[in-house]
A and B are shown apart, each in its own frame.
Chain A
Amino acid sequence: MNALNLLFQFADNFAFVVLAAVGLAVIFGMMGVINLGHGEFIMIGAYGTTLSANAGAPLPVAMAIGVLVTAVMGLILERTIIHRLYDRLFDSMVATWALGLILTQGMRILFGNSIPQVSTPLGNIAYGEFSYSTYRVLLLPVALLVLGGLYVLFTRTEFGIRARATIQDPDTARALGVDTDRMYTATFVIGSALAGLTGALYAPTLTVVPGMGSSFLVEAFVAVVVGGPSVLLGTTLSGGLLGTIDAVFTNLFGTFYGQIAMLLTAIVVIRVLSDGLTGLVETVRNRVEGE
């Protein structure tokens, strides 16, 4: 086993788990809504990026467009549908599942079974007989940046304080003058934008087709379960844990064992640390925030 290989594969897997999960985790952790259309939100981000790039936009601009499109879609869906379902969390799952169905088939009707794909930029890092895609490795710092940004947003800004107050006790927050409706809307839009960002980032390196969203779902849900209700630390920790396990097992035994090991880890973590990890994460976060 080559150490650099393992390192790059870990970077790759960590970024994938974190980016797949982060949009879902924000919406779930902050609002308790399970967005079963999460994969399709990612797909919309990827379509927005790829179509803009095909129309001539430079890749970074195209990615920004992809994020924007998904965020706007999230805003519209929140105002028209999701906000009616906040006190009916399980119904919101059915509704988002239906939305996913409509989005997938809608994109197929609009743009066909496939669109011309963008190629991966930035070349590769070569070392000895091996090489690794630079772009894929760079997704690790991007994922960390996203997490860092969210941390600042939710703990260091007025908005974040209001948002967390809304989550912890909506009635009191409302009594103190927080517009909780707007907080929910904003959180959903942020979650959508993050899903869009994931789609944008993976558009040049995955296959952009209407059904692509499903390839993120397993990692996203597993990471959210393992991470627990504490969105940021939870996602980071589960990204680290699952990314490591996936990289090691894949390297040693092959891709299938990587996947299975990751899923089994999730089950074990939930059972052994169900309260423990949640509690642990909460304590750690409180301590970090308390400083």
Chain B
Amino acid sequence: MGLADALDRLRRPFEGPNTLGNGRAFWVGFLVVLVGLVGYPIGFGSYAASSAALYLLYAILALSLTVIWGYTGILSFGQVAFFGVAGYSFALLSMNLESALTTMLALPVAVGIAALAALVLGYFMFYGEVRDVYVTILTLVVALVLNTFMAQTAGSEWTVGSVALGGFNGIPAIPSLTFGVGETAITLDGAAFYWFTLAALVASYLGLRALVNGRFGYAMVATREDEDRTEMLGYDVRRVKLLVFVLGGALAGLSGVLYATWGNYISPSVFGITFASIPVVWVAVGGRRSLLGAVVATVVIEWFRQQLSATGSQYALIVVGVVLLASILFVPEGVVPRLDAAIRGARDRFGASNDAPEGTPE
């Protein structure tokens, strides 16, 4: 009784009408999956863990788009811009000041730079009355500008400190994340990197759940549904949009730093149109108003693409395209919300009562 109550109290801040998966059953399932994910490297080894870490860090990028697009109604096509800016910043900082301490500090600084970039761009757009689909195209253009610019920095004049930007080839040999100083320093590699990424993802996920189910979350959803009415209710819509955009930029930046340290490498292709489109695909397929959907879709789609590529089949890209088309056409609300609805439907049919108010994600 006491324990159950305590658990109920614990989950309360993370629940509400703006998220899927409320109620005890969900959290039990969540914990089971989490334990499985934590145990994954022990069962499958550090190579498998480091492959999986890539999907997990991408999921953070997907979350950054979900909160901006799904919850606030702004489709940013340029999340990869912040992802890449943070990745490049981390590379330049950690390689110029190479010591364990600075590598550790470079992470928050790089994320800060990404957030700052989002602040500048967001201010520029939302206070300049750039709206709707123009935000989408403008953010895409920003990513493409960065792509064009970074791709031509091959010459020896393009160095920051001691680090060459490298142009199209990008920056290789970026150090892995290191925590601690001197002898006690731990380099995050293999399984350790996986756990760190998993922790970052879970923290981002839970943090966003708390956010969207809180007061600010309601302001975000209200902005998405009707800007004018929200304004009349006394909210500063532009500020709401800007804050969400900065938060999204920071999350994308975190993902970008993890990416740069995952492969010890970053190149201008992270700003390219192909990579820019991918987060939109993850989020659209997973269900753009579902945080969980974004995470699940990202992991599944990326795993699937990797498996297809490993087969060496020339039909791999066709299969990817067809699967995406089919999911957009036949599961418009997103795969995860559809599954959620199906599960709830089944439960209702068997007469099980819900122990918490259910979310209405649409």
Contact = CB atoms under 8 A, between A and B. Distances in A.
Interface of A: 28, 32, 34, 36, 81, 84-85, 88-91, 93-95, 97-102, 104-106, 108-109, 214, 217-218, 221-222, 224-225, 256, 259-260, 263-264, 266-267, 270-271, 274-275
Interface in B299-335: 314-315, 317-318, 320-322, 324-325, 328-329, 332
Contact of A89 (B69, B128, B133): B133
Interface of B: 69, 75, 124, 128-130, 133-134, 136-138, 140-142, 144-145, 148-149, 152, 273, 277, 280-281, 284-285, 288, 314-315, 317-318, 320-322, 324-325, 328-329, 332
A36 B277 contact: yes
Contacts of A218: 144, 148
Given A88-B332, A98-B324, A221-B140, A93 B280 contact: yes
Most chain B beta-carbon contacts within 10 A, residue among A81, A98, A270 = A98
A93 B314 CA distance: 24
A83 to B, nearest CB: 11
B321 A99 contact: yes
Contacts of A85: 328-329
A260 B149 contact: yes
Nearest to A101: B321
B77 to A, nearest CB: 8
A102 B141 contact: no
B141 to A, nearest CB: 6
Contacts of A108: 314
Given A95-B328, A222-B144, 18 more contacts: A81-B325, A95-B329, A97-B281, A97-B324, A101-B317, A101-B318, A101-B324, A102-B318, A104-B317, A105-B314, A105-B317, A109-B318, A217-B273, A221-B144, A267-B142, A270-B128, A270-B130, A270-B138
B69 to A, nearest CB: 8
B317 A274 contact: no
Contact of A274 (B128, B144, B288, B314): B128
Contacts of A100: 321
A27 to B, nearest CB: 12
B281 A94 contact: yes
A84 to B, nearest CB: 6
